[in-house]
Amino acid sequence: MLVNKCLNCGRDTKNPKFCSLSCGTIFNNIKKGEKTLKDYYKNPNYCIYCGKIIELRGGTRVQDIRRNKFCNHSCASDYNNKLKGIIPKKERIPKVRVRVYRVDETVTIGSLYGKGASKYAIIRSKARAKMNFYKVEKECCVCGYSTHIEVHHKKFLNTYSDDTLLSVVNDLNNLIYLCPTHHWEFDNKLINL
């Protein structure tokens, strides 16, 4: 019976090359790795700043090194800092952002989910969101109280028809902050604004 030596570990084996699958896998992976290293050094990457070969470091893959343009961080920072002196900075034009609340532009109050009180609750929550969006100062417009305030519609919600746009109902000119006391007084027509 013919006995061969395993190409990976050197043990005696009946198989032609390897004593086990794991020895075959280890051997072939090492050979594959050596081949990719040889292929890399036939056509290596060069640092665009200093011109040196970009060396493979332990644990890095050849495909990762192929993406590198510099041999180390020092060359990269020197190159980029040198460019800052050559390339003029663009004049920065400050961007002016106009904040526009567009949530309720096309919605009618009749199309809101629910009927009765739940429809009005949706309208009020959208009104609070709009006041927060535009950063209206949170204090009662009558007495200045700011611990607990409520958003109030100057024109009562039940006076609008169902085809009225939510943007009309929740217009900033129709919304004010009131403390609970003054809100109740206004709703019961004890005070006018």
Task: For residue range 25-70, list pLDDT tens digits in order.
Answer: 877 776 666 777 777 778 888 888 888 888 877 667 777 788 888 8
pLDDT tens for each residue of 131-177:
888 888 999 999 999 899 999 999 988 888 888 888 888 888 999 99
Q: With 90 as the cut, is the pLDDT of residue 181 above it?
A: yes
Q: Cα–Cα distances in Å, from 190 out to 66, 154, 183, 184?
A: 79, 14, 10, 9
Q: Is 101 or 119 the better-scoring residue by pLDDT?
A: 119
Residue 9 tokens, joined: 């570990």
CA distance 162 to 104: 14
**What pTM value is reported for the model?**
0.47
Of the two residues 130 and 63, the one the predictor is more confident about is 130
Q: Which two tokens mark 15?
A: 């198989």
